[in-house]
Chains A and B, each alone.
Chain A
Amino acid sequence: MSDVTFVQQSALAVFFGRLGRSTLSGMEKLGDATMLGFHALGLIFSKPWQGKHFVLQLYALGVGSLAIIVVTGAFTGMVLALQGYYTLAKFGSESLLGAGVGMSIIRELGPVLGAFMIIGRAGSSITAEIGIMRVTEQTDALEMMAVNPKRRILLPRIVAVIIAVPLLVAIFDVVGIGSGYIVGVELLGVNPGAYIAELVAKVGMHDIYGGLVKSVVFGFLIGMICSYMGYRSTPTTEGVAQATTQAVVISSVSVLIVDYILTSFYL
């Protein structure tokens, strides 16, 4: 007979126990992701340079996401123009449509919606690709061929996303404002001169810098999170699937949280 006795834990103790464990595990992963990401980024200053791989990734992630960015930007601008016109017409201020569409897209919708699209298109593919490389031992094979997988796999992808996101967001902004112009001016009859004049008058460099900073930060977040999730995924089919889902969810939520923080600084 053993002398072990079992004590019933209170529901509160169980709750705080679980909360504590998940908090510790979350902090551990955050620390690990930060160290891994910065370790990979730190390798940018050492040889061998990864220029060719960076260009390949920039093409795959950036150009590959172009179509979805253009489509999303176009419909966002069109919907904004419709909604904006409906609201502004109540106050007889339809001429402000250009400023409304421009500010909404440049300050907020361009970086956030653009980031979401890039997460879905490029972020998920980064996680899945790196995860599959782990499952098939390709990362181990690189290690054994004296090629640092952090330098070869993570670094080009993180840097490519950091550069691709602001460029794609800029395209999103231009397409959104342009499609807003088509809907507002061509379909709803807003004065074209007023649309452009209000846009130029109300949207300042401060707004453009704000959107740019946001998109660079979002690119950094997406690159770090999606690369980390793939690199640390359990090397099984289920592990890669789970890591890909988590990468999309965590990146999207992080973008929203950081967006609030950055907006509060830039307002």
Chain B
Amino acid sequence: MIRGDKLSKVYGTTTAVSSTDIHVRDAAITVIMGGSGSGKTTLLRLLAGLEKPTAGHIWYGDEDLCTMTDNRLYELRESMGMLFQYSALLNSLNVYDNVAFPLHEHTDLDEEVIRTMVSMKLEQVGLRGFEHLMPSELSGGMAKRVAFARAMAMDPKIVFFDEPTSGLDPISAGVISTLIRETSTKNRMTSIVVTHDVGAGLSMGDNVILLWQGRIIAEGTPDEIRHSDDERVQQFLEGRPDGPIPFSRSTTSYVDDLTHKPGTVRLES
């Protein structure tokens, strides 16, 4: 089990994640949802070990990720995968080499076997036959599907998905959501999915966490979240602009800002 204890991440004067406890169940899909800037990607990066927390600890079983040696971390990562929001394909490699990259790096398999595995992964995302294309020749959606195939190349035990359906057409988004669901169940994979797509999040998650201002405001099964009494949860699910979660992030008065003349000093009463 992956566990975050009192996790905080501060960038300069901005607190992205604030003293958050999180438990990720094995062989289940944990969906982290929240508005833009709520800290969900930062939380995902903390759990993946891509960022060090300002405070708190991340436990993989009984091992602390924050004090782990580099070698041990890389050892753990051989059984992990990650789908990045903007794909993060290696620009100098074509589609085949991108998907085959982890296999070339960490296995001694024959090229024939690797070719078969890559074909299978690309078939899953509907891109078999596109092996020769370079990342610059792919659309955003295609790049994301290749990145998905790459993340799954080693049949990982733990996979982090950062906005897996954003930028995809409805058909591709549906296929990716189904693939996450099916692969997680079939391979008993632990999946952590960050998304602001309410429909996709609630349909694929076993456990849903809702973040706001770097804190968890609700956690439970999709049904528990749907029927939550919390006004903030309902506002987010329904996408209402009015409610306890303000749409505007400005902290000063709009009228004051419009009437304030440059070169003058505002005196607070």
| Chain A residues packing against B (C-beta within 8 Å) | 48, 132-133, 136-138, 140-148
A14 to B101, CA, bound (A): 53
- Any A CB within 8 A of the CB of B81: yes
A64 to B108, CA, bound (A): 33
- A144–B81 touching, CB < 8 Å: yes
Of all chain B residues, the one with the shortest Cβ separation from A140 is: B50
For A145, what are the chain B residues with a Cβ–Cβ distance below 8 Å? 77, 101-102, 105, 150
Of all chain B residues, the one with the shortest Cβ separation from A136 is: B88
Of all chain A residues, the one with the shortest Cβ separation from B82 is: A144
B47-79 Cβ-contact flags toward A at 8 Å (1 or 0): 011100000000000000000001000110110
- A137–B77 touching, CB < 8 Å: no
- Any A CB within 8 A of the CB of B90: yes
A144 to B74, CA, bound (A): 8
Q: A136-B91, A138-B90, A138-B91 are in contact. Are A146 and B75 (CB under 8 A)?
A: yes
- B86–A136 touching, CB < 8 Å: yes
Of all chain B residues, the one with the shortest Cβ separation from A141 is: B88
A147 to B88, CA, bound (A): 14
- Any A CB within 8 A of the CB of B84: yes
For B106, what are the chain A residues with a Cβ–Cβ distance below 8 Å? 146
List 17 interface pairs A-B (beta carbons < 8 Å), by A numbering. A133-B91, A136-B88, A137-B86, A138-B91, A140-B50, A141-B89, A141-B90, A143-B50, A144-B50, A144-B80, A144-B81, A144-B82, A145-B101, A145-B105, A146-B80, A147-B74, A148-B74
- B105–A137 touching, CB < 8 Å: no
Of all chain A residues, the one with the shortest Cβ separation from B74 is: A146
Of all chain B residues, the one with the shortest Cβ separation from A143 is: B50
Q: A137-B86, A140-B88, A141-B88 are in contact. Are A147 and B50 (CB under 8 A)?
A: no
Of all chain B residues, the one with the shortest Cβ separation from A146 is: B77
Of all chain B residues, the one with the shortest Cβ separation from A152 is: B105
- A147–B86 touching, CB < 8 Å: no
Of all chain A residues, the one with the shortest Cβ separation from B77 is: A146
For A136, what are the chain B residues with a Cβ–Cβ distance below 8 Å? 86, 88, 91
- A146–B105 touching, CB < 8 Å: yes
Interface size counted on chain B using CB atoms at 8 A: 23
A74 to B155, CA, bound (A): 56
A133 to B86, CA, bound (A): 12
Which has the most chain A C-beta neighbours within 10 Å: B88, B102, B150?
Answer: B88
- A137–B78 touching, CB < 8 Å: no
B78-112 Cβ-contact flags toward A at 8 Å (1 or 0): 10111010101111000000000110011000000
A137 to B162, CA, bound (A): 12
Given contacts A132-B91, A141-B88, A145-B102, 7 further A-B contacts (CB under 8 A): A137-B88, A138-B91, A140-B82, A141-B89, A145-B77, A145-B101, A145-B105
For A140, what are the chain B residues with a Cβ–Cβ distance below 8 Å? 50, 82, 84, 88
Chain A proximity of B14: nearest CB distance (Å): 15
- A144–B48 touching, CB < 8 Å: yes
Chain B proximity of A234: nearest CB distance (Å): 12
- B77–A141 touching, CB < 8 Å: no
Chain B proximity of A222: nearest CB distance (Å): 22
The 8 closest A-B pairs by CB, nearest first: A141-B88, A146-B77, A137-B88, A144-B82, A146-B74, A146-B78, A145-B102, A137-B84
A133 to B93, CA, bound (A): 13
Chain B proximity of A153: nearest CB distance (Å): 11
Chain A proximity of B226: nearest CB distance (Å): 32
A136 to B86, CA, bound (A): 7
- B77–A144 touching, CB < 8 Å: yes
For A146, what are the chain B residues with a Cβ–Cβ distance below 8 Å? 74-75, 77-78, 80, 102, 105-106
A137 to B75, CA, bound (A): 21
For A147, what are the chain B residues with a Cβ–Cβ distance below 8 Å? 74, 105
Chain A proximity of B33: nearest CB distance (Å): 21
Chain B proximity of A140: nearest CB distance (Å): 5
